[in-house]
Amino acid sequence: MKHLIIVMLFLLPTITMAQRGGERNNEIDSYRIAYLTQKLDLTAEEAKVFWPIYNDWQKEQKALRKERAQKMISFRKITEIEELSDTEIQALITNDFSFKQRDLNLDKKYYYKLKSSLPIKIVGKYYRAQEAFKRELLAKYRNSGQARQN
């Protein structure tokens, strides 16, 4: 059971990304932009500053996720954790830590860019809106999945 949990920790993010097609990603991106636009209520000047930073951040996050997915391909092909050496398992786990750290570093980098370019209240609104968006999106897809099952 413990081995299955370890395998799932590595596979779940990659499988989830692979299952979502480009169409769904575009739909989510459009929904996110509309949501943020409404919640942030930026002035024209603030929007000129915010959106280029946001778009660069999204590009870097997509590139990092793509790299992570590509590095996880070999791990996805493994049917049993017992087929790996201890060193290979440790490498997979520490590699995952590395990606999480790089993702955190990316978040910090863009936090500082936003903070140095916009009032902190707008930056705070952005983070609050991001969290609310995630919850709303999960609820939306959870409810649409339940509707399909009925």
**What are the tens digits of pLDDT across the range 133-144?**
999 988 888 887
Domain ranges of the chain: 2-149
Task: Give the pLDDT confidence score for residue 54 in this predicted structure.
Answer: 96
Task: Give the pLDDT confidence score for residue 57 in this predicted structure.
Answer: 96
* 126 contacts 42 by C-beta, under 8 angstroms: no
CA distance 46 to 149: 44
Instruction: Inform me whether the pLDDT recorded for 4 exceeds 50.
Output: no
Instruction: Inform me whether the pLDDT recorded for 2 exceeds 50.
Output: no
Q: How much is the average pLDDT of 73-86?
A: 71
Computed from CA positions of residues 83, 86, 90, 93, in that sequence, does the dihedral angle turn out positive or negative? positive
CA distance 67 to 69: 5
**What are the tens digits of pLDDT across the range 14-48?**
445 445 467 878 888 898 999 999 999 999 999 99
Q: How much is the average pLDDT of 111-129?
A: 97
Burial (CB count within 10 angstroms: exposed 0-12, middle 13-18, buried 19+), residue 50: buried
Average pLDDT, the chain: 82
CA max distance for the chain: 57
Burial (CB count within 10 angstroms: exposed 0-12, middle 13-18, buried 19+), residue 49: middle
Name the residue type at position 102. Answer: R
Task: Give the pLDDT confidence score for residue 77 in this predicted structure.
Answer: 63
